[in-house]
């Protein structure tokens, strides 16, 4: 049997404790699959006294995470600290520069600094692994980097944030508004006290930028992701979508187009015939469309102690076997630097919801704005009373550019007929 793979664990929150538990529970199986033992030799975290439900006394405690790299008895460092910069990035840079393997679940750091870290890893012939950074326990990074490596990927898209999917599913099931369900999700621990990164789409955008790089062989460009969240979705949007044969989901979608790389996170109407419409609760799903393999659908738990720890340990098994290559499936110098495609250049059908004053001429004003912008209306529904005393007007467009829809909305800006900001959601026609 080969010498053990000796690891240091930085960060002992939910996932860090989960890694310790998993290595203990499945130790014999992991050793057989890895071909050698995987042993934790040192750990670090901010609070030494905190009870994490696991025995840490057998490991050496190190107060300074940076000191882990210099230890002669450490072959690989697992970073579960979090944050795009700060101690996590310092640890990543120093670990890889020293030629030691580095495993992380840190999607923000990979989205912002992944190319730099991959280049350092290549120069030092060190492993950089981040399966746990996207979709928790779902092996989507391995699936794209290895399983679909021979395919040209046309699109990659998915439900990338479990908190948002939980909220939207609860709104469907109970007919409640966003704010009520968010408060419940926070009470149950599904949403953070400050849920902005989740509900405003930033967390999903980090993950999408990583998936796009793997799928298309391009450099990560997080800053080019058009991001919109779910704060302004109301119960009526959910019910109208159901009536029209759709469900509302927060979808991250990336596509390589002649105009450049399109990347967007946006609430969308997903047809009931599509598998993603049936991904419920806190589950995640990723879909990749390959030119030879066809549609690949990855679905499962995208966060939490068990799934994320599972992905971390899977990366460690690869390292123990010596099975790793370029972090983004090809050398950094082979990653294409592609310009960003404008989000509003995309064509498709769109859902529009207006709260309008209940008086004659309002419908004519809105349809005239659509006509003048070249937007053709496929269906139009007027229902009941809006919360602020008006009525709700919902329409679905024929296929049109998003720029034309935005032009129509611009023509209505400042109109006394509108009671609040209109809601625009693309329809996922894939």
pLDDT of 302 > 90? The answer is no
Closest by CA to 252, choosing from 300, 206, 196, is 206
Question: 321 and 296, same structural domain?
Answer: no
* Residue 422 resides in a domain: yes
Is the confidence at residue 1, as pLDDT, over 70?
no
For residues 203 and 216, state if they share a domain.
Answer: yes
Decide if 73 is inside a domain: yes
pLDDT at 169: 96
pLDDT value at residue 2? 85
| One domain, residues 151 and 291 | yes
Residues 285 and 273 in one domain: yes
Nearest CA to 203 out of 225, 234, 188, 175 is that of 225
Active site residues: 207
If pLDDT is split at 50, 70 and 90, which confidence band does 47 have? Answer: confident
- Comparing 186-200, 312-326, 347-361, the range with the smallest average pLDDT is 186-200
Instruction: Measure the CA–CA gap between 135 and 31, rounded to whole angstroms.
Output: 25
Structure tokens at 125: 């012939």
Looking at the fold, whether 235 and 168 belong to one and the same domain comes out as: yes
CATH of the domain at 382: 3.30.70.260
Does residue 420 or residue 122 have the better pLDDT?
122
Q: pLDDT band at residue 128, thresholds of 50, 70 and 90?
A: very high
pLDDT averaged over the chain?
94
For residues 110 and 205, state if they share a domain.
no
| Average confidence (pLDDT) over 303-307 | 88
What's the whole-number mean pLDDT along residues 325-347?
A: 93
Are residue 128 and residue 56 in the same domain, yes or no?
yes
Between CA 252 and CA 312 the distance in angstroms is 23
Does any domain span residue 268?
yes
* Torsion of Cα atoms, 93 then 5 then 71 then 66, to 10°: 30
359 and 319 fall within a common domain = no
Alpha-carbon distances of 10 from 102, 244, 345, rounded to whole Å:
11, 49, 44
Residue 203, domain member (yes or no)? yes
Q: Which of 129, 97, 47 is nearest to 320 (CA)?
A: 129
pLDDT, position 386: 63
- State how far the alpha carbon of 259 is from the alpha carbons of 52, 212, 218, 294, 429, in Å: 50, 16, 14, 24, 20
Asked if 222 and 265 sit in the same domain, the reply is yes
- Tell me how many domains the chain contains: 3
Q: Which CA distances in Å does 4 have to 12, 37, 170, 391?
A: 22, 5, 46, 68
Structure tokens that stand for 398 in this block: 């024929």
pLDDT at residue 105 greater than cutoff 80:
yes
pLDDT of 185 above 90: no
Could you list the residue range(s) of the whole structural domain that residue 414 is in? 345-426
pTM greater than 0.75: yes
Q: Indicate which CATH number applies to the domain containing 270.
A: 3.30.360.10
Residue 121 pLDDT class (50, 70, 90 cuts)? very high
pLDDT band at 430 (very low <50, low <70, confident <90, very high): confident
Q: Give the C-alpha distances (Å, rounded to integers) separating 9 from 74, 118, 121, 353.
A: 10, 20, 19, 49
Identify the CA nearest to 300 among candidates 135, 115, 122, 106: 135
The pLDDT value given to residue 48: 86
Q: CB–CB of 302/132 below 8 Å?
A: no
Q: Say if residue 303's pLDDT is above 90.
A: no
For residue 91, what is the domain's CATH number? 3.40.50.720
**Distance between CA atoms of 288 and 330, rounded to whole angstroms?**
18
Q: Span 236-242, mean pLDDT? A: 95
Burial 104-113 (b: 16+ CB within 10 A, else e): bbbbbbbbbb
pLDDT tens per residue across span 364-420: 999 999 999 999 999 999 887 666 678 999 999 999 999 999 999 999 999 999 998
Kindly indicate the confidence band of residue 137, based on its pLDDT and cuts at 50, 70 and 90.
Answer: confident
Q: Integer distance in angstroms from the first to the last C-alpha of the chain?
A: 50
Q: Are 64 and 86 part of one and the same domain?
A: yes
Q: What is the pLDDT of residue 191?
A: 79
* 290 and 160 share one domain: yes
The mean pLDDT of 23-39, rounded to a whole number, is 97
Could you tell me the two tokens for 55? 């025995």
Kindly tell me the sign of the dihedral angle through the C-alpha atoms of 24, 26, 32, 35. negative
Angle of CA points 100, 106, 111, to nearest 5°:
100
Structural tokens at position 114: 């992944």
Answer whether residue 168 is part of any domain. yes
* pLDDT for the residue 388: 66
Same domain, 271 and 153: yes
Q: Is the pLDDT of residue 243 over 80?
A: yes
- 3-state secondary structure at position 131: helix
Model confidence pLDDT, tens digit, residues 255-272: 999 999 999 999 999 999
In this predicted model, which residue has the larger pLDDT, 50 or 321?
321
């Amino acid at each position: 049997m080969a010498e053990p793979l000796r690891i240091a664990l930085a960060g002992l929150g939910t996932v860090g404790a989960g890694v310790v538990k998993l290595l203990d529970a499945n130790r014999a199986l992991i050793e057989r699959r890895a071909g050698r033992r995987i042993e934790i030799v040192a750990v670090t975290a901010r609070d030494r006294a905190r009870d994490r439900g696991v025995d840490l006394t057998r490991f050496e405690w190190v107060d300074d995470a940076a000191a882990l790299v210099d230890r002669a008895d450490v072959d690989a460092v697992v970073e579960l600290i979090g944050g795009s910069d700060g101690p996590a990035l310092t640890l990543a840079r120093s670990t890889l520069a020293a030629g030691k393997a580095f495993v992380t679940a840190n999607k923000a750091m990979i989205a912002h600094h992944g190319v730099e870290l991959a280049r350092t890893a290549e120069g030092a012939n060190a492993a950089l692994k981040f399966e746990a950074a996207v979709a928790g326990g779902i092996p989507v990074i391995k699936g794209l980097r290895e399983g679909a490596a021979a395919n040209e990927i046309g699109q990659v898209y998915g439900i990338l944030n479990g908190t948002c999917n939980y909220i939207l599913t609860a709104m469907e099931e109970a007919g409640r508004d966003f704010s009520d369900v968010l408060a419940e999700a926070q009470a149950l621990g599904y949403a953070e006290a400050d849920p902005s990164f989740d509900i405003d789409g930033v967390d999903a955008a980090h993950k999408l930028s990583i998936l796009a790089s793997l799928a298309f062989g391009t450099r990560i460009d997080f800053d080019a992701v058009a991001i919109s969240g779910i704060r302004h979705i109301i119960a009526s949007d959910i019910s109208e979508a159901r009536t029209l044969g759709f469900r509302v989901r927060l979808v991250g979608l990336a596509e390589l187009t002649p105009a450049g790389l399109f990347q967007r996170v946006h609430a969308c109407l997903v047809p009931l015939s599509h598998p993603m419409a049936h991904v419920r609760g806190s589950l995640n799903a990723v879909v990749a469309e390959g030119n030879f393999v066809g549609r690949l659908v990855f679905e499962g738990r995208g966060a939490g102690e068990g799934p994320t720890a599972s992905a971390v340990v899977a990366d460690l098994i690869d390292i123990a076997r010596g099975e790793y290559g370029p972090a983004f499936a090809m050398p950094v110098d082979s990653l294409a630097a592609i310009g960003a495609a404008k989000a509003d250049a995309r064509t498709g059908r769109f859902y529009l919801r207006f709260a309008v004053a209940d008086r004659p001429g309002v419908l004519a004003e809105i349809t005239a704005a659509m006509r003048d912008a070249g937007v053709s209306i496929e269906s139009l529904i007027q229902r009941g009373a809006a919360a602020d005393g008006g009525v709700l007007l919902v329409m679905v467009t024929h296929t049109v550019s998003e720029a034309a829809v935005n032009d129509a909305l611009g023509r209505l800006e400042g109109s006394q007929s509108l009671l609040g900001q209109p809601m625009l959601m693309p329809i996922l026609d894939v």
